[in-house]
Structure 1
Amino acid sequence: MSIQPFDETEATKTADEIVGKVQYVNRISEQAYKSIQEALKKSLEKSRVVVPVADPSRVILRATTVQMLLDGLREHVGPSSYLTLIRRWGEEIGISFGHILIETFKQKKRLPKTYKTILVVWAIFDSSARWGDIKINQFDETKGTAEVKITRNFLTTGYEYDIHRHCPFFEGYIQGVTTQAFMEWARWFNSVYSTSVRPLLCDSIAELQHEESCIFRIKFKAEGLKAACDRLVESFKAHDNRKWEESLRLSREGLETALKDKVGFTGKRFDFIRALRTFSEAAKTLANQDQAVEFYSLASKAIDHKLERKISSEDSYRIAVFTRRFITELEKTPLTREQKAQLKTLIKTT
């Protein structure tokens, strides 16, 4: 069967063909709730808060139960830390679904013609999963802008005040879905048609809060760290093929390449951890430095066969997802020519 391209006018029909009218509702909603529950469980365990779920991988929570868990966590860690945490969860879950979405298209040999087509199908899927009524109000590839409207958002339904308290989850989620899906789709599209569609990434997203809806305005920009993203795409592919060590190696290369290319470093000797600390201290904006060191070290130990346990699927997937977040954060970190020159000098001498 040859690849069949489709546009947004065929989105609903394609979604039905891909998974089935009833099946994709249940499959996606179960996966989404499972992801949220697992993230909640890990965080709450660290905070010593009891989770009232015996086996979260087999339970679909009511929206009100999710809200109660999130409200409890928000009260425990404080509003400021909570916003950062829930946005990160959203981004990680979005990256995961963005990858699954494009892989599903590939398996079914249905190739979206445009970025907007991807957004429309995503909106259909997550609306069917009862996350809310999601509409793509506007998408302009030339201007790099989009607007997503969500009514009956499952995270706001039922609240009488401060109804948007959990909406940073959707900010992260939309960023993760679009950046990952667009990255993988552009490379697939270019390989099929021998074209050079520019990969886009979510540069910023902000919510306009309304009483009856949530409107998210998104700005996209062209992907800058292409070589790092190339390795990341291959890392996800290796993971899907159950090649955990290869996936880890490619993710590690993605981390290294992203940092090198961000500062324009071309030398042969490159100590990623020292360079990262130098960059973070100079740029003063890199929020995930400690996690980058942790995952880079884990990948290195696994590749060098110094890990005291077997490499797992979870290892390769978590590091691939983190690498996507790391590349995105670097893309958003502004550097002047002077800063780049200073950083190159500092990295060479560390």
Structure 2
Amino acid sequence: MSSSTAYRSLHDPDLIEEYLFLVGDGDEDGATDFAEALLDEGVPAQRIMVDLIGGAQGRVGELWAANEWSIAREHAATAVNERVLATLAGRVRSRPTRGRITLACVDGEWHGLPARILAELLRMDGWRVDFLGASVPGPHLITHLHQTGPDAVALSCMIPTRLPRAHAAITACHAAGIPVIAGGRGFGPGSRYAERLGADAWASTAEEAVTRLASDWPPPPAPEFPTEFLGDEEYTHLVRSRPQLIDTAMQRLAAAYPAVHHYSEHQREATMEDFGHIADFLAASLYIDEPQVFRDFTAWTASVLTSRSVPVSALKAGLRLIRDQLIDFPKATTTLDEALTDLTSPAVPPPPTTH
């Protein structure tokens, strides 16, 4: 890398692409040298973490969704990003001057890199951070809170299907007397679904979370949000009947979509996983009474399937097979109908939500 590279703006897409090439090639040493050169030239570590590492990770997800990268390559690139982040964190030390915060990904949430970036930003801002990592079971989180007594809990959720578990975690934290700030794409645009689940504060970006915790913490008591819809009858039925819904849909799929007769065993397994995602996103949508959660998922799924040469008609057939089994549940069928209508004239797909 030439010395001039370090002087370029981190908003320069060519800079991200150079770093992304190293990450995608599994070149941990090259990627680390690239990031350290920027640091040595005076680029703030926060900007490297957010704009370079975070920006490249966003591109990694896009490349997977476009079927240009395999899951294996995506995972390898993520591992390199994590190592680069750790190296930068080791070079930028700061003493705690604020308080103690516990940071964890919701149970079942395995996208840990965004939370790890937040952890490092909080450390640099003077917090003592207990970063518990990805997919932290609720009871383990609460045990840690009782053992350490932090001033706050930061919860990360990148996939909406984890929202019911996020709600359970928020409720348990409050029972332990600890306020919660929530963030991550799973909480919706601007993390607005966090309010419905009882979070004390929320942030749409890591930097916004750092600002909230530094200038507006503890937050004033939030107004009570109606929660009678959380986990209602339709949601409960869907969760309990999930295995049967998937099995029945698979049994009926050949009649609804004859091309499945020619599927390989791998394709059948992938199709079963897709039915599982449909059920899980529909359940999350019902849990927080927000149809857009499911509609965003189906729009994105359509774009992913198209990039893999699977016609949208296959997804529509699958949605109808699930709908046929939920005919007695008006919110579920209305949500499915809205998603099917969207697929007739699809809008621009949202960012990736699952893979």
**TM-score after normalising by structure 2:** 0.28
Between the two structures, name the one with larger relative contact order (CA 8 Å, sep ≥ 6). Answer: 1
**TM-score after normalising by structure 1:** 0.28
Which one has a bigger Cα radius of gyration?
2
